[in-house]
Amino acid sequence: MGKHISWHASKISKTDRHQLNRHKSAVLWFTGLSGSGKSTISVELEKELFQLGIHVYRLDGDNLRHGLNANLGFSPADRKENIRRIGEVARLMVDAGLLTLAATISPFREDREQIRKLFDEGEFIEVFVKARVEVCKARDPKGLYRKAEMGKIKNFTGIDAPYEEPKSPEIVIDTEKLTITESVQVILDYLKQNGYLQYP
């Protein structure tokens, strides 16, 4: 940070925003292999939360590569910067009082833990969208695995780049066993049971 740059504090606190919105803010960080169901589940969850009157916004890793992260590739360094930027945007949205959904492969535990440290206790909810790479290959909704195996995509997670599963995520969604509707309900139940969808 430059020595001539100062942080300007707001006169509106995060608690003020929670009171206005009548619910808490947090980020649900969806991590998992390509094809595991992260984006599909987050889209349906966003719709359900919106219908419940929750101020919610979804950050999708692919969508952000069209703009904010358009200058980044898939090297380890670029992946790290990609996750850092998404985490900083999510932090701003949580500070603004929004329930934020971030769907991104984010393959490395260290990077995810660095993002967790940006948030207050309870504001980072790691959602591991679990599916074996063989299942994701069979789904391959974007044809990316096929391209990676043909050598057209380099550093593709699950093919020639690793994915590190979370050790203790707040939520695990096994999409080999659960439907999209069931997956969304598991997350909604977690949010309700832990008081995220209301504010005293």
CATH topology assigned to domain 14-193: Rossmann fold (3.40.50)
Q: What is the pLDDT of residue 31?
A: 97
Is 106 among the residues known to form the active site? Answer: yes
Query: What percentage of residues in the chain have a pLDDT greater than 90?
Result: 70
In the set 25, 106, 168, 183, the catalytic residue is 106
* Average confidence (pLDDT) per 10 residues, the chain, 200 residues: 73 93 97 94 98 95 79 83 93 97 94 96 98 92 82 82 94 98 98 94
Q: What is the pLDDT of residue 153?
A: 81
- What's the pLDDT tens digit per position in 150-191? 788 887 888 888 899 999 999 999 999 999 999 999 999 999
Angle at 56 between CA 95 and CA 170, to 5 degrees: 80
b/e burial code for range 78-106 (CB count within 10 A of at least 16 → b): ebbbbbeebbebbbebbbbbbbbbbbbbb
Q: What is the pLDDT of residue 2?
A: 64
- Residue boundaries of the structural domains of the chain: 14-193
Q: Which residues are annotated as a binding site for ATP?
A: 32-39
